[in-house]
Chains A and B, each alone.
Chain A
């Protein structure tokens, strides 16, 4: 285990996105803040309670999830993909860094960015609605678990992608629809059939509801179901990514 090598890669990844905070932290923060203003304050004022909660606090966990998942994914995917395009990935492949170290280095950096954006989004929410944190342990587990899963998924996308169009495929055609249909702005209980049943196949629903359980104290599904799904996804994504990196898939000739 090259511990210093891992620490160096992790620290490099964090410093990389902190060099451009306007793009990596401020920009997503403004986007999610606008959701609060448009959906929460403007439209939400005319809406009834959702699953026993006023609308504005109801959307806070989903928006924290949205900012965190997107930014964790974007950090690992863009960082490795840019290294591939610019040729600096050679430095990593030649260095005595194993697949595990490369995985943890990129994922660690991406998790830090995801969590910073998620927590800042939560901070913005406090401008509009009081703090609610009913189950701190569950909240922390879902925050960290979600950031981890999307960081690893971003790494898979970066390994696979060879063109800019491909690196944009996953966030645009997979993540965006699934997050918007994942119960961020509504409860899946409100959906008529068949959309209610269709939504049950969207893994993001369980992550959003898990965070909602942690922050607000209630959710549509048992939190353990969301936790188990998150753990299974984390394990599967980790195994796939480790195998890809160890094989040098689309990284080595």
Chain B
């Protein structure tokens, strides 16, 4: 696997250098180095157990690192572990709630932990943004699963952090909340908040992220601008169906094309050195083949992730 060194970032709010975390025989983080720039949305992707939550935990004070350095807002956490955390918010992966308090009380407590006096206007704003206003005085134990997750997000944001970690924030929530949250995350970025996101919904990362990091077995395999990554590793495919079986293809289609066994379908994958999909499409119509339907498909982040995890990553 080729390691792609992350490019330096202007005005990083988070700098991680050669971070290692070992649990007895298991290496959860294996020399991870990463910079997150102010105001960006960074998606950290990888399979279960890749090290995403451990990395976030090490930054947020939940995990004791074995070695390496972490700078938050320019402060070395080995020198001052608490000061920078006034500006950090975390939505943990596991849903939790304090059954003794209402939604509003939970937010007041959260504000207090971060050295802020009760701010009813801010609480109302966050409740509104997360569609929790109607539940403001409800006991947290009475909330549905989706509502509890909304509350987790509200708690992470109520103190106006400059850096927010969203660890699987939309796991198990309905589509509506997922869309609401996407909108809210974009608003946060517009206000200058930096967001680090882990998610199993790659559509979410594709929709939101400016940059993407791919991690597996504790090693950061790739960090790149999302658009550049999709452009570099993404592929276009033409999926063609014919009205009647085609025995053989004209020579122009042989490279990168696969004809189905029954001769009624063709898949063309755009590859370096071969004609572009648009050229093939043009030639297809010119060839007089009995084309019934043509569909074009562009690679998604999911395809790229699989390519990288299977070691087919190409360095930029």
Residues on A lying within 8 angstroms of B by beta carbon are 2-5, 7-9, 11-12, 15-16, 19-20, 83, 86-88, 90-98, 248, 252-253
Most buried by A among B64, B83, B100, B113: B113
Q: Are B61 and A94 in contact (CB under 8 A)?
A: yes
Q: Shortest Cβ distance from A100 into chain B, in angstroms?
A: 11
Q: Are B113 and A253 in contact (CB under 8 A)?
A: no
User: CA A98 – CA B115 in complex, angstroms?
Assistant: 13
Q: Does B233 contact A (CB under 8 A)?
A: no
User: CA A150 – CA B252 in complex, angstroms?
Assistant: 84
Q: Are B98 and A86 in contact (CB under 8 A)?
A: yes
- Whether A2 touches B61, Cβ cut-off 8 Å, given contacts A9-B113, A87-B94, A96-B115, is no
Q: Are B62 and A252 in contact (CB under 8 A)?
A: yes
Query: Which one of B23, B92, B97, B115 contacts A2 once the chains associate, using CB atoms below 8 Å?
Result: B115
Q: Shortest Cβ distance from A52 into chain B, in angstroms?
A: 47
In B177-210, the 8 Å CB interface with A consists of none
User: CA A87 – CA B90 in complex, angstroms?
Assistant: 13
Query: Which one of B94, B99, B113 contacts A8 once the chains associate, using CB atoms below 8 Å?
Result: B113
Q: Does B112 contact A (CB under 8 A)?
A: yes
Q: Are A86 and B97 in contact (CB under 8 A)?
A: yes
User: CA A252 – CA B66 in complex, angstroms?
Assistant: 13
Q: Are A91 and B110 in contact (CB under 8 A)?
A: yes
Q: Are B97 and A96 in contact (CB under 8 A)?
A: no
Determine the chain B residues whose CB is within 8 A of the CB of A9 once the complex forms: 112-113
Q: Are B64 and A91 in contact (CB under 8 A)?
A: no
User: CA A98 – CA B61 in complex, angstroms?
Assistant: 11
User: CA A253 – CA B53 in complex, angstroms?
Assistant: 11
Q: Does B86 contact A (CB under 8 A)?
A: yes
Query: Which one of B88, B97, B114 contacts A88 once the chains associate, using CB atoms below 8 Å?
Result: B97
Query: Which one of A7, A86, A252 contacts B61 once the chains associate, using CB atoms below 8 Å?
Result: A252
Q: Does B85 contact A (CB under 8 A)?
A: yes
Determine the chain B residues whose CB is within 8 A of the CB of A20 once the complex forms: 100
Total interface residues on B, using CB and 8 Å?
A: 33
Tell me the nearest residue of chain A to B118, going by C-beta. Answer: A8
User: CA A8 – CA B62 in complex, angstroms?
Assistant: 21
Determine the chain B residues whose CB is within 8 A of the CB of A96 once the complex forms: 82-83, 85-86, 113-115
Q: Does B315 contact A (CB under 8 A)?
A: no
User: CA A253 – CA B54 in complex, angstroms?
Assistant: 9
Q: Does B63 contact A (CB under 8 A)?
A: yes
A-B contact pairs, 29 of them (CB 8 A): A2-B115, A3-B115, A4-B112, A4-B115, A8-B112, A15-B101, A19-B100, A20-B100, A86-B98, A88-B96, A88-B98, A90-B62, A90-B96, A91-B96, A91-B113, A91-B155, A93-B61, A93-B62, A94-B62, A94-B85, A95-B113, A96-B82, A96-B83, A96-B85, A96-B86, A96-B113, A252-B64, A253-B62, A253-B64
User: CA A19 – CA B117 in complex, angstroms?
Assistant: 22
User: CA A252 – CA B60 in complex, angstroms?
Assistant: 11
Determine the chain A residues whose CB is within 8 A of the CB of B57 once the complex forms: 253
In B44-77, the 8 Å CB interface with A consists of 54, 57, 60-64
Q: Does B109 contact A (CB under 8 A)?
A: yes
Determine the chain A residues whose CB is within 8 A of the CB of B90 once the complex forms: 90, 94
In B272-308, the 8 Å CB interface with A consists of none
Determine the chain A residues whose CB is within 8 A of the CB of B85 once the complex forms: 94-96
Query: Which one of B23, B88, B115, B155 contacts A253 once the chains associate, using CB atoms below 8 Å?
Result: B23
User: CA A98 – CA B85 in complex, angstroms?
Assistant: 11
Tell me the nearest residue of chain A to B139, going by C-beta. Answer: A19
User: CA A2 – CA B114 in complex, angstroms?
Assistant: 8
Tell me the nearest residue of chain A to B156, going by C-beta. Answer: A94
User: CA A9 – CA B113 in complex, angstroms?
Assistant: 7
A-B residue pairs, 8 tightest by C-beta: A8-B112, A87-B96, A95-B113, A96-B85, A96-B82, A253-B63, A88-B96, A4-B115
Determine the chain A residues whose CB is within 8 A of the CB of B18 once the complex forms: none
User: CA A97 – CA B115 in complex, angstroms?
Assistant: 9
User: CA A20 – CA B101 in complex, angstroms?
Assistant: 12
User: CA A3 – CA B63 in complex, angstroms?
Assistant: 25
User: CA A100 – CA B88 in complex, angstroms?
Assistant: 21
- Whether A5 touches B98, Cβ cut-off 8 Å, given contacts A95-B85, A252-B61, is no
Most buried by A among B101, B109, B117: B109
User: CA A91 – CA B97 in complex, angstroms?
Assistant: 10
Determine the chain B residues whose CB is within 8 A of the CB of A97 once the complex forms: 82, 113
Q: Shortest Cβ distance from B258 into chain A, in angstroms?
A: 48
Q: Shortest Cβ distance from B57 into chain A, in angstroms?
A: 7
Determine the chain A residues whose CB is within 8 A of the CB of B244 once the complex forms: none
Determine the chain B residues whose CB is within 8 A of the CB of A16 once the complex forms: 100
Determine the chain A residues whose CB is within 8 A of the CB of B99 once the complex forms: 86
Q: Does B312 contact A (CB under 8 A)?
A: no
Query: Which one of B60, B95, B117 contacts A94 once the chains associate, using CB atoms below 8 Å?
Result: B60
